[in-house]
């Protein structure tokens, strides 16, 4: 049986309320760097924070918990549909809105995972989160990454979409993040590139192999 993604489909979300007492913490480089990445990405799973800081998941977890207790970041706990079922925490920039539902939280977590892998290799990359909109045409959150290319360092941009299970891809996107390879091969539009939750979470997969060639 092929491995499923823990972020494929959210089922419930819980906003973790701050402890009554505010924790005093030292504002060291790790704290400043974590806050800088969260300000740009807005939503990050702890594994991505660890990658960006060059630290283990355990160290990143301890750091983010202390930052949360100091009320520097927000945190939600998300239950997901997977086998076996699981929950994960999503760390949120203090000025950003909470996700509207569990599935949006899964989408934002995966966009954050993509940001973590790409930003680590391209520090000058700019990341803009485009929030979901309500209306007759429902558009989900996606991200725009802006990077420099060529000798003249001209700016180029790509739109990143992360459809969760059952959601329709945004055909305007350039790169799609699907939960699994099977879904990516089935639903990626021709001429577009893809990656998957499973690939992004596997640190043994090199940066050069994160995103596929255009689908023929």
Per-residue b or e along 92-124, where b marks 16 or more CB atoms closer than 10 Å to that residue's CB: bbeebeebeebbbbbbbbbbbbbbbbbbbeeee
Query: What pLDDT does 138 receive?
Result: 57
Alpha carbons 26 and 9: distance in angstroms, whole number = 37
Query: What pLDDT does 131 receive?
Result: 82
Name the DSSP letter for residue 180. S
pLDDT tops 90 at residue 150: no
Alpha carbons 104 and 132: distance in angstroms, whole number = 9
- 190-213 confidence digits (pLDDT tens): 999 999 999 999 999 999 999 999
> How much is the pTM?
0.93
Alpha carbons 65 and 57: distance in angstroms, whole number = 12
What mean pLDDT is predicted for residues 117-144?
Answer: 83
- For residue 88, give the nearest of 190, 171, 16, 3 by alpha carbon: 16
Distances (CA, A) of 122 to 25, 147, 160, 198: 30, 8, 16, 21
- 29-73 confidence digits (pLDDT tens): 999 999 999 999 999 999 999 999 999 999 999 999 999 999 999
Alpha carbons 63 and 201: distance in angstroms, whole number = 20
What mean pLDDT is predicted for residues 172-200?
Answer: 97
Confidence label for 152 from pLDDT (cuts 50, 70 and 90) = confident
Alpha carbons 188 and 121: distance in angstroms, whole number = 25
Order of strands, sheet of 73-80, starting from the edge strand that comes earlier in the sequence: 10-15, 73-80, 86-93, 43-45
Query: What pLDDT does 86 receive?
Result: 86
3-state class of 207 per DSSP? helix
What mean pLDDT is predicted for residues 159-168?
Answer: 95
What mean pLDDT is predicted for residues 136-153?
Answer: 79
């Amino acid at each position: 049986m092929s491995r499923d993604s823990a972020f494929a489909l959210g089922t419930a979300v819980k906003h973790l309320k701050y402890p009554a007492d505010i924790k005093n913490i030292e504002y060291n480089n790790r704290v400043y760097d974590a806050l800088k990445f969260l300000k740009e990405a807005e939503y990050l799973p702890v594994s991505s924070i660890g990658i960006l800081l060059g630290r283990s998941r355990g160290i990143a977890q301890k750091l983010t918990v202390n930052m949360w207790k100091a009320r520097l970041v927000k945190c939600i706990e998300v239950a997901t549909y997977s086998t076996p079922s699981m929950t994960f925490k999503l760390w949120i920039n203090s000025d950003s809105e909470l996700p509207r539902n569990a599935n949006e939280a899964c989408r934002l977590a995966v966009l954050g995972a993509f940001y973590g892998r790409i930003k680590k290799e391209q520090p000058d990359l700019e990341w803009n989160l485009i929030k979901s909109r309500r209306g007759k045409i429902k558009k989900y959150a996606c991200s725009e990454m802006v990077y420099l290319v060529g000798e003249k360092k001209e700016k180029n941009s790509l739109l990143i979409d992360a459809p969760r299970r059952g959601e329709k891809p945004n055909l305007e996107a350039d790169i799609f993040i699907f939960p699994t390879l099977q879904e990516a091969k089935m639903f990626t539009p021709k001429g577009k590139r893809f990656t998957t939750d499973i690939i992004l979470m596997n640190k043994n997969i090199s940066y050069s192999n994160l995103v596929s060639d255009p689908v023929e």
